[in-house]
Structure 1
Amino acid sequence: MTAMDRSRRLPTADEIAEINRRHLIETPLAPADLLFMFGTREDVALRVETAARLWREGYFGWSIVSGGVTPGSEQSECAIIKAAMVEAGIPAQRILEEHRAMNTGANVILSLPIIDAALGLQNIRSVICLGNTWTARRYPMTLHRHWPEVEKMLLTVDSFATPRALWHTDAEFRRRMLHEWDKIGPYKAKGFIAEWPGA
């Protein structure tokens, strides 16, 4: 069965329970030094609206947006998302930019030197990862692989009408979730991500 076919499978009750418990991790949010905005073409407005709310409520002092140019666009995900963040009220000078990443690993690898040059990695003690619900813990797991010292929090958003815990009842939500869940084992084996939280 190919990866695409597998993402169209109907998960068992045990698999649904394991995904809800291990993948859809929710962490308590506390004010952080940095908001890490992972590039996307999905639900950009919702992600930006969430970032703007966090900014207004004092949850971060700096942000980095990471994402390259995707097929069909002349602008990088970073350029599109940052412009929307500024329009939503986040000061442009508080948003660092990474314009080349084409996947989650590159988001982190290419962003770390930018963060270091602007702020000093040693000055960042906590990071909020903001991304899509279905990618879930793979964001902080990727960050943990390359930047284990920093405290990580996870906040995810999606525009599905289906409640998050019932993702398996919506065909497209289910496909996206299973597609991401199936990456965890192989990515850990290849050293792309590291276990988070805990052991």
Structure 2
Amino acid sequence: MPTATLPAELRADVETLWNFNHMDHEARPVDLGIGLGSHDLGVATHTANLYNAGIFPRIVFTGANAPTTVERFPRGEAVHYREHALELGVPDEAILVEPKATNTGDNIDFTRALLDQHGLLDQVQSIMLISRPYQQRRSYAMARKRWPEVDVVCSSLPLPLSEYVESIGDADRVINMLVGDTQRIWVYAQKDWAVEQDVPTPVHDAYSRLVDAGFTTRVIPE
């Protein structure tokens, strides 16, 4: 049965990966907020909060479904995100929905195509990617590669690690996702899907120990 408590013997390594994947960008005004679809409705909550604070004038929610989200969001991640944002006071005219993306590369590419379709692409010089906390660095690197003309900042619901794990309710799931997203930093750069970023030795070491501990469900072949 899932537990919402991090094992004490793993905490230091999990925190190392958690801190590395945060970009620590300041939430400053940008032209567009992009809510990246996932199983975490907190992404939509944070996107709505940022809109209501005047950080950006328009939102794109992007995401279809993955095996891990189809039960929770049967109409698609972006559709459910939009509905949640409307409940939080975001006006419908401020939201565009991109319902087909199944990965982060699609999120970025399909968002660009949607903006172009609506005649808005030339109006966007800066974007904020709103994601799960451990997805910040990977999404940033991919956006810099696929949309190099824009300034990119990242943001996530500001929760400490323990509170985030409690909100998800499954420590193993969070650790597996952290391990997988960390590995993708160097794998995606090697495949030329993302810009290269420095990965400090302590991060590599923490990653390796967590893999050895069995957190491999999100690890991909290198």
User: Could you tell me which amino acid in structure 1 is paired with residue 22 of structure 2?
Assistant: L
The verdict on how the C-alpha distance between 1:188 and 1:80 changes in structure 2, with shifts beyond 3 A counting, is: same
Which moves more between the two structures, 76-85 or 21-30? 21-30
* Count, aligned residues: 180
Equivalence for 1:85: 85
Q: Distance in 2 between matches of 1:22 and 1:161?
A: 12
Equivalence for 1:178: 179
TM-score normalised by length of structure 2: 0.71
Structure 1 residue 161: Cα displacement: 5.6
Q: Distance in 2 between matches of 1:136 and 1:29?
A: 13
1:51 is aligned to 2:47: yes
Structure 1 residue 28: Cα displacement: 1.1
Structure 1 residue 175: Cα displacement: 2.5
Secondary structure of residue in 2 paired with 1:101? coil
* % same residue: 20
Q: Distance in 2 between matches of 1:21 and 1:182?
A: 14
Stretches of structure 2 lacking an aligned partner (at least 5 in a row): 1-8, 165-170, 199-222
Equivalence for 1:192: 193
Stretches of structure 1 lacking an aligned partner (at least 5 in a row): 1-9, 165-169
Secondary structure of residue in 1 paired with 2:58? strand
TM-score normalised by length of structure 1: 0.78
Equivalence for 1:157: 157
Correspondence list, 1:44-123, <5 A? 44=41, 46-70=42-66, 71-72=70-71, 73-123=73-123
Secondary structure of residue in 1 paired with 2:188? helix
The verdict on how the C-alpha distance between 1:112 and 1:61 changes in structure 2, with shifts beyond 3 A counting, is: same
Aligned counterpart for 2:36 among listed residues 19, 34, 38: 38
Q: Distance in 2 between matches of 1:52 and 1:143?
A: 21
Secondary structure of residue in 2 paired with 1:162? helix
Structure showing the higher strand proportion among its residues: 1
Q: Distance in 2 between matches of 1:196 and 1:123?
A: 29
Equivalence for 2:136: 136
